[in-house]
Structure 1
Amino acid sequence: MITPAAFDEIYQELEAETKDIYRALGLLPIADVDAPMTAAVCRLSWGRAGWSLEVLAEQGLLKPLHGHEDLVRYRLLPAARDHAKSLAVRTDPEQDRQAVLRRLCQWILATSTHLRSRLTPAQATQQDLGTEATPICEAPFDDDAEALAWLESIETGFLDVLATASAAGWDDIVWQLVDAFGPLFLRRHPYDMSIAAHKMGLDAARRTSNKEAIQHMLMGGATGLSSAGQLDTAIDWYRQALTSARRWQDAQAEGEALLGLASCDHQAGRPDEALLLLAEATNVWRRCDYRRGIALATLVFGEIVLVDDPPRALSLFAWARGLLLEAEASYDAARALVLQGHSRVVTGESGAGIHDLEMALAGLSDVTSTRWRARCLELLGAAWLGRGQRDEARSCFAAATDLYAGVSRADSERLRAVWSGL
């Protein structure tokens, strides 16, 4: 274990630029760093930042983590972090320390905003993000999988980053960060983090009196709450969003809030109430010609009627999928295909249904949606089981169980009980 005196000795032997980097890293509310982040925070090139990180790792101050190819991540050891922070407090003016933190928040916002536009363009806000989202350096990912992995690399420190920005009074950065991390909430379902983040984002948005920001935080928070099963609180947030949308005469937002309320009623076992809300949402969206919204409402409507009228549900899912493909909403179109495939199995077209489910699974793998991949695998397993092909069914059920384990313990245990006896 390195003693305080040894930390001081190591620090004194570092070059001036590496000393600056070390002190800056100690200030960050996030322990895992890499060259792109360090370059942005310290206003350096990737190469110079990466070289200094290697030096700090060689000196035992950073622990190398698994990375890919040339992008190595490091973790600042707790004792080194405390030492570096104390040095920064003693050495660097408050203004400089705040500048380091702001550059971190700006870089995370710039990168996540770019990522959101790539992964979920339909859900990117229309808000002008201004200079806060101006990229400070090149985004460290080349494809969708790497993009989502980057979000996950920030996940453990994300709430601390938001708290840092809130404490500094950077309210616009706070709510924009929450909004920009939408793909992580949508695909990986970290419910507790999503709910906490949206509460912080909502407070920040309200302090700015930004109506669009308030609406986004209410809707995003309500989605997380409903997915986590906190339906009463989710309904309250959706109703606040609905009131705001109607006050500002925002038809698209009004329909989204109505759809959210309908989904909560459906989840709570109130189909009649859900159908009324879905009809209202659809009428609102027809008036403003928002076809993606109409398609999403149709998916929920189809799930409700599937119980009593599978052929009708099948036609609804197929129609909604066509609209979603036209809107280039690939993730939602894949969800529609899952439901279409399942309804085909229910109506006796098991071969065609399995084909649809396998196609949907491939599409969902591309966008790495945990919950919907798990649901698709579960339905595919049920389809195989219905054909008497137990090995294929067991394989699907086991894979779905593993995926559910990360987002719903109850679903994971429920499904394990199904396939463990096969």
Structure 2
Amino acid sequence: MLVPSKIQTMFAAFYVCLVFWCLDSAAGAELAPPRNVTMVTLNTQYTLCWDWDHTGNVTFTTQHIARYKLNSKKKSPIWSTVCKDILDRSCDLTLLNLYYLGIHVLRVRASVNGRHSDWVQKEFSPDKDAALGPPTNVILTPAGSDLEVTIFDPLSSNNSSMKELIPTLAYHIMYWERSVDSQASQTHQTLTSSINIVILPNLKPWTWYCVIVQSRYDYYNKGSNFTSPHCMQTEGATPWWEIFLYFLGSLVTCFLVMFPSVYSSFWCYKTLKATLFPSHQLPMHFKEFFGTSPGSDVPCLLTPESESELLCDNVTVRLEPAILEVHDLPPENLPAPLLGLKPGSSAQHSRHDSSSSGDSGVYSTGGRSNSQQPNTSQPIAGVIDCWNGLDAEQVKMQEMALVLNSRPKIPADEGIVDMCV
């Protein structure tokens, strides 16, 4: 009985040891690290990718450091964390703006429930390892019977030309004649150039050609993918019928464009002319009234232009009294009563009342120069009595003659108006 009991005790102890060993092995087992760590790049866009076979709630952490810092003996290297505890199996490194000509070290590890896998490191040099992209765009332009190819540089992540990072960037151009039969063999011609504008020579006129372009970096023998084909027809001498059609089309276009404007201008001209210069004129009696007819005595209406010309200074006009010259009547014209007067005597009739103002200002220039002013104190009643048988008008005229003869004479050069009575 003792033997079996010892055997059972030994088996129990072995079983316990086996359990503890298994538990210790499971506790000390390391987490599997990521595998197939690669870089996916294009110009200056960089993405670190990896694989992991296990399933579960696993996260990943990615760190970066320049390689020259790992070789520094002065201080321990400090890694910068780019992506921490992410569920994705890739990490974008574009925002780091990695130095294009430098060498960088990247590492990634997996984490599950607080346990971490080993770091997996990878060196990366953009100048050597980054893929080169094709040209951004290609434009074809006919240049006679040749084609002009304009190439736009590939761009970096900040939209700058890749020639700033790769000064020796060149372009590999491949072109061929496009055929109607797609299964026919095509002869490709190539051309390499470092400039952005290239002329494809020795092409046939009026023929379609297709062009594809590839970016090249010959120092590391890197080349991009070719662009999609761009096709263009070459030109040649223009036939006469095409020139005639172009000319005819230009004339028709010019006529269609110019006719509405010319017609509208002519219509405006006719409307203005009919408004400002009507064909229906004013009647003749209106023209005579307004003084528009030649020789009209009625003054013309003043226009704004004539009103501006009628500006003048004030003028004062003084009228000089008209002087009448009265000559003596011959004796045969005098009435009979006056013939009996003595030669040296004269008769005068003076009017002093205000109603006889019409005779004022009349002076006599006839008679002798040494005639004296008659004596007004002598009565003229006898003279008036001898005129009773005469006509009243003749008596009045004789009275005026006697009065004017008694006035002094005025020289003949002082504005004298002659009048015979």
The normalised TM-score by structure 1 is 0.19
- More RCO (CA 8 Å, sep 6+): 2
The normalised TM-score by structure 2 is 0.19
Higher-strand-fraction structure = 2
Higher-helix-fraction structure = 1
